[in-house]
Structure 1
Amino acid sequence: MTSAENAVHPYLPNSAPAVRQAMLDEIGAASVEEFYADIPDSVRLHRPLDLPAPMRSEAELARHMEQLLARNTSTRQALSFLGQGCYQHHVPAVVDEVVNRSEFLTAYAGEPYEDHGRFQALWEYQSMMAELLDVEVVNVPVYDGFQAAGTALRMAGRITGRRRLLLATAVDPDKLSRVRDYVRPDHDVVVVPVDPRTGCADLDAVAAELAKGDVAAVFADMPSALGIVDAALPQLAELAHGAGALYVVGCNPLALGVLAPPSAFGADIACGDIQTLGVHQSYGGGNAGFIATRDEEHLVAEYPSRLFGLAPTTVDGEYGFGDVAWERTSFALREDGKEWVGTAAALHGIGAGVYLALMGPHGMREIGDTILTHTAYARQRLAQVPGVQVPFGDSLHFADFTVRYTGGRTAAEIRADLRQHGIFGGVPLGDQQAAYCVTEVHTKADIDLLATTLEEIIK
């Protein structure tokens, strides 16, 4: 390499000066800089990225990547009690078999006449999700549950024409950050503190915020970031509707085999993440978001994302699958769209559809019962550890739950010690409080090992 301008990257063929110049000549541009003219100067870096020199040997590059990957310890290699939005569940082998078929794995985009199978698979996913959620309309998956929450709240803002958004249950800090970023500058997010004694929504505080007016939506999670299934969820619906606001509920769909869906207690819009439905953890990711509503025009018209529907064909008894109300999307409206919709996580929707079809109603109930039982046992067992308290004892928890350390050591110190014992868990929620999670993959022996390890660490 002689200079950054004339450098030729071994894996970027268009970086060759002659090739780059030919492309510029073809389109009539003087330099690559012209392509970025719309980006404000104040946010531009004005220097090359600080990157290492490219490895010119494929063998050297492969070895480097293997070394980087070896630094990761997955939840399959350690005993993990991590949750908070990305969960360790068993993914049946048939799910991987289907989603890794080439006709799904490589089908990024297409039209009904050339991509009929993918459209039908996603329609089947939407149909099963609609049955699980007891609604009529479910979207093709968006990036993740955080974005789904932000979009659902934006939908509420467009429907009501109001600005303020009230978050009434305990919310994950990362989710709160994403929602705030997604709804600005059109909406103000107001976090209503939960009752510190119960961890549940403070109905009086919510009512006081609603009385100030201009509330587009009340948002609640089921379960909340503390793992609590709040008994006040139906009352929040009454408060929201009494003030002319919509009620938006985020939920873990895996819990709906044993818990009533949001529509049953007044939710206008339900949203959440389908990672729990047959999607592997992937370096903290593997997420995809859903939005669900009743089949009412004022609700459906505000979906920015794709909806696949069923349509008759010219052949009796045969049906096609394609976009519903295409004109409301940014694909049709471009810069005039309600929101921009680009690359989604549709492949995860196909995986979730396979998972739902495989589990069926009885399987969903069984796995929900198992997680409720494991959660209850874990909370009871850890409460027996000296120096550990398990707050919010009167509330039902699903998967996630909170512990409080009383022995003087910090949550960060205890978490680090657990890692030394090959256990992931106890994500700090402050100096003396931490989050744990159990699912169907855990056993009684796993939970007992966590408890005895904490006894050793804390004593």
Structure 2
Amino acid sequence: MPIKGYKNHPYIPNSNIEVQKEMLREIGLENLEDLHDEIPEELKLKGNMELPECYPSEYELKRHVEGIIGKNKTCSENLNFLGAGCWQHFVPAVCDEINSRAEFLTAYGGEPYEDHGRFQTLFEYQSLVAELVDMDVVNVPTFDWAQAAATSIRMASRITGRNEVLIAGTIDDDKLLIIKNYCAPQIKCILVDFDSKTGQVNLTDLENKLSQDTAAVYFENPSFLGFIEEGGAEISRKAHEAGAISIVGVDSSSLGILQPPRKYGADIVCGDLQPLGIHMNYGGGQSGFIATRDEEKYVMEFPSRLFGIAPTIVPGEYGFGDVAYERTSFALREGGKEYVGTQTASLGITAGVYLSLMGPKGMEELGQTIMQKSQYAIKELNNIKNVTGSLFTSVSFKEFVVDFNKTGKTVKEINNKLLNKGIFGGLDLSKKFPGLGQAALYCVTEIHSKRDIDRLVGAIKEIVEE
């Protein structure tokens, strides 16, 4: 809408009120508010926004913003044991050095007229992730793991022509809401029970819920609650017997020591690249991936871009470009399977740099280090009276559920007192998984030293014994 006191901008024609009216008439609407009829009235702002006065200079604005930022409690100043989908890993300096190069930061669309190696870097990223997950085809990244999972499920539904997905009940409720949002109303999401002692998927419940309408079974390994899902092969086998597709979500940092899901029957693998050289960025450093076998029925259902290598007209010369471009919404427009827009390609490049730096041996050492440190933390927490270091009996990777039910204190109380000691405690699960009671999801990675873990254990011991 034109702003009172300001002239219409010469390069934005729809700011002209007459042009705006003409456009509204063309689509059968009376005013701009009609474009947002689907938004409930109670969510609409009825009055003016309470904005502060404008700052007259750039310096004053910068000082104001820095003052706000200075109130944050960061992981640089505090010891962090939070994970739950955004984990604190070490980021090698070379990752930032490469992804901040101008040709990658400014090559928005990645088309030939401004591609300065970005096609090749994304091809290399895809190749490295494909090797990590033991699959053949990997996409240009989605926004995050949740979108990758949701898109994988939609792919499975189109392939099978079915409209239900079974999802392991240990999934994070935030991720589940995103999946439901992407899949509604065509695909129904059904949760499968998990064992209260081990956390493992209840195979009997899975078998009872499988039907001729099941498009896919989705589970994560490690699970959101940190333990390793031991029945992956059996879950995939049951899914396949029912004519469904097996989809596995993975923590990419675990694949140096855990079998890739293809080994236990996965048809589609998805996950998040954030552990691979990407900063947490206040929870926003997310970047999802999808991987499949090189089979046409899977490849043609990828909505996102795929980059390949091919010979050019010059003998001995190769180029990089889109594979099966005609399946994307760029080519099909409104007929596309899913809309493909801005994605996290720069973070894909970052993950490619990280994997090329680490190599197979480095990823193995990373996984071993994380697992050893997390097991040490569990063992030490078990020594605290009325605290159980790992609520589930299954082996955990880097995250584990700490049981505080016998302490007489809530996780919220414990976390507040930890914060006063400069420690970010684990994620409170009392609302996400009320059946677990006062339990918290703790995360230990390669950045935590023995001294860090001992400091946490000592602080919790002091708090629960007060």
Give me the TM-score of the superposition, normalised by structure 2.
0.92
Is contact 1:311–1:321 with CA below 8 Å preserved after alignment? yes
Please state how far the C-alpha of 1:181 moved relative to its aligned partner.
Answer: 1.1
Please state how far the C-alpha of 1:53 moved relative to its aligned partner.
Answer: 4.3
Superposed CA offset, 1:309-333 (max 9, x none):
1011011111111110011111111
Superposed CA offset, 1:106-132 (max 9, x none):
111132354140000000000011111
Distance 1:30 1:46, change over 3 A: farther
1:168 matched residue in structure 2: 168
User: How far apart in 1 are the matches of 2:243 and 2:8?
Assistant: 63
Superposed CA offset, 1:118-169 (max 9, x none):
0000000000111111111000001011100000011011111111110125
Distance 1:7 1:133, change over 3 A: same
Alignment partner of 1:398 is 2:388: no
User: How far apart in 2 are the matches of 1:254 and 1:224?
Assistant: 13
User: How far apart in 2 are the matches of 1:108 and 1:266?
Assistant: 37
User: How far apart in 2 are the matches of 1:22 and 1:404?
Assistant: 58
Is contact 2:199–2:392 with CA below 8 Å preserved after alignment? no
1:110 matched residue in structure 2: 110
1:412 matched residue in structure 2: 412
- Which of residues 430, 435, 441 is equivalent to 2:441? 435
Is contact 2:107–2:114 with CA below 8 Å preserved after alignment? no
User: How far apart in 1 are the matches of 2:146 and 2:154?
Assistant: 13
Is contact 1:116–1:321 with CA below 8 Å preserved after alignment? no
Alignment partner of 1:69 is 2:72: no
Residues 64-213 of structure 1 aligned to structure 2 (within 5 Å): 64-112=64-112, 114-168=114-168, 170-210=170-210, 212-213=211-212
More displaced stretch, 378-387 vs 272-281: 378-387
More displaced stretch, 105-114 vs 60-69: 105-114
2:426 matched residue in structure 1: 426
Superposed CA offset, 1:203-254 (max 9, x none):
00000001x4310100110100110111111110011001000000000111
Is contact 1:404–1:434 with CA below 8 Å preserved after alignment? yes
1:354 matched residue in structure 2: 353
Is contact 2:329–2:340 with CA below 8 Å preserved after alignment? yes
Please state how far the C-alpha of 1:387 moved relative to its aligned partner.
Answer: 2.1
User: How far apart in 1 are the matches of 2:270 and 2:12?
Assistant: 49
Is contact 1:158–1:302 with CA below 8 Å preserved after alignment? yes
Is contact 1:226–1:402 with CA below 8 Å preserved after alignment? yes
User: How far apart in 2 are the matches of 1:303 and 1:27?
Assistant: 41
Opposite residue 160 of structure 1, the aligned amino acid is T
Is contact 1:137–1:292 with CA below 8 Å preserved after alignment? yes
2:255 matched residue in structure 1: 256
Distance 1:423 1:317, change over 3 A: same
Is contact 1:139–1:291 with CA below 8 Å preserved after alignment? yes
User: How far apart in 1 are the matches of 2:209 and 2:219?
Assistant: 15
Please state how far the C-alpha of 1:392 moved relative to its aligned partner.
Answer: 4.7
User: How far apart in 2 are the matches of 1:101 and 1:5?
Assistant: 38
Please state how far the C-alpha of 1:60 moved relative to its aligned partner.
Answer: 2.5
Opposite residue 95 of structure 2, the aligned amino acid is V
Distance 1:229 1:49, change over 3 A: farther
Superposed CA offset, 1:15-39 (max 9, x none):
x234379834879514599484762
User: How far apart in 2 are the matches of 1:326 and 1:205?
Assistant: 41
Please state how far the C-alpha of 1:74 moved relative to its aligned partner.
Answer: 1.6
Please state how far the C-alpha of 1:81 moved relative to its aligned partner.
Answer: 0.3
SS of residue paired to 1:454: helix
Distance 1:48 1:305, change over 3 A: farther
User: How far apart in 2 are the matches of 1:437 and 1:186?
Assistant: 36
CA RMSD, Structure 1 to Structure 2 (Å): 2.1
Alignment partner of 1:451 is 2:451: no
Superposed CA offset, 1:240-289 (max 9, x none):
00100000000011111101101111000000000000000101120000
Is contact 1:148–1:289 with CA below 8 Å preserved after alignment? yes
Please state how far the C-alpha of 1:436 moved relative to its aligned partner.
Answer: 0.3
Distance 1:73 1:28, change over 3 A: same
Alignment partner of 1:39 is 2:35: yes
Segments of 5+ residues of structure 1 without an aligned counterpart are 9-15
2:299 matched residue in structure 1: 300
SS of residue paired to 2:35: coil
Is contact 1:116–1:320 with CA below 8 Å preserved after alignment? no
User: How far apart in 2 are the matches of 1:194 and 1:170?
Assistant: 7
Is contact 1:170–1:225 with CA below 8 Å preserved after alignment? yes
User: How far apart in 2 are the matches of 1:20 and 1:227?
Assistant: 55
2:274 matched residue in structure 1: 275
User: How far apart in 1 are the matches of 2:251 and 2:258?
Assistant: 10
Is contact 2:380–2:389 with CA below 8 Å preserved after alignment? no
Superposed CA offset, 1:188-214 (max 9, x none):
11111211111111000000001x431
Segments of 5+ residues of structure 2 without an aligned counterpart are 25-30, 431-436
1:12 matched residue in structure 2: none
Distance 1:372 1:25, change over 3 A: closer
Please state how far the C-alpha of 1:61 moved relative to its aligned partner.
Answer: 1.6
User: How far apart in 1 are the matches of 2:35 and 2:50?
Assistant: 22
